[in-house]
A and B are shown apart, each in its own frame.
Chain A
Amino acid sequence: SQQGEEDPQALSIQEGENATMNCSYKTSINNLQWYRQNSGRGLVHLILIRSNEREKHSGRLRVTLDTSKKSSSLLITASRAADTASYFCATDPSGGSYIPTFGRGTSLIVHP
């Protein structure tokens, strides 16, 4: 069954603005990962945050995890047109299969 659900489904911003995407999930997890997909291409791993971590940074990316609310957010600061892509969260449910489960993704468009 689907575990992660991204919100919003689509986001359109201007270059230089920040972009925030959210992911909600249903059951306890071991970790949560964010991936990016350019149109018609494979997914590229961005960042992994473990269930005992609350925040993680990688360059212009900031990921938070709130296990009490079963949610995570991905913040892209100072966005660029090249950030235009779909962003997916993948959760690894604890207590069962270790196969990450992906959501439908957030489609981000950054206008130059």
Chain B
Amino acid sequence: ETGVTQTPRHLVMGMTNKKSLKCEQHLGHNAMYWYKQSAKKPLELMFVYNFKEQTENNSVPSRFSPECPNSSHLFLHLHTLQPEDSALYLCASSQESYLADTQYFGPGTRLTVL
């Protein structure tokens, strides 16, 4: 248990659906991250939030929309996804994004887009 939870753990959706992934951290951290992990590829950073402000958007398509209402919660809203978006989506947190700290990861959401 790392102190970072993600829901749901598994999600199957069609290309026309709208769904949201949720991440919550109980560590008192100020930075939160979304990563995408596809088979045989490096872990891809998607978004970074520091003190609720988005500081990184790694050229992510607009069909992925992040939301960070407070330092403990992070959402990833999904709409009109493609089959190639199927992957493990990992949330992480750290003390602050500019301190090169250890990141604490959630268990991930396994997303399948049909």
Contacts and interface: CB of A to CB of B under 8 A. Distances in A.
Interface residues on B, range: 20 to 34
A48 B42 contact: no
B102 interface: yes
A40 B10 CA distance: 11
Contacts of B99: 98
B56 A99 contact: yes
A46 to B, nearest CB: 10
B103 to A, nearest CB: 7
Interface stretch (B12-20, B62-70, B75-83, B105-113): B105-113
A108 to B, nearest CB: 16
A92 B107 contact: no
Interface residues on A, range: 20 to 34
A12 interface: no
B98 A98 contact: yes
B103 A44 contact: no
Interface centre among A30, A90, A97, A103 (most CB of B within 10 A): A97
Contacts of B108: 40-42
Interface centre among A40, A44, A90 (most CB of B within 10 A): A40
Contacts of A105: 42
A97 B56 contact: yes
A44 B2 contact: yes
Nearest to B4: A42
8 contacts: A42-B4, A42-B92, A42-B107, A42-B108, A43-B105, A101-B45, A102-B42, A104-B41
Question: Top 3 nearest A-B pairs by Cβ distance?
Answer: A42-B105, A102-B43, A92-B100
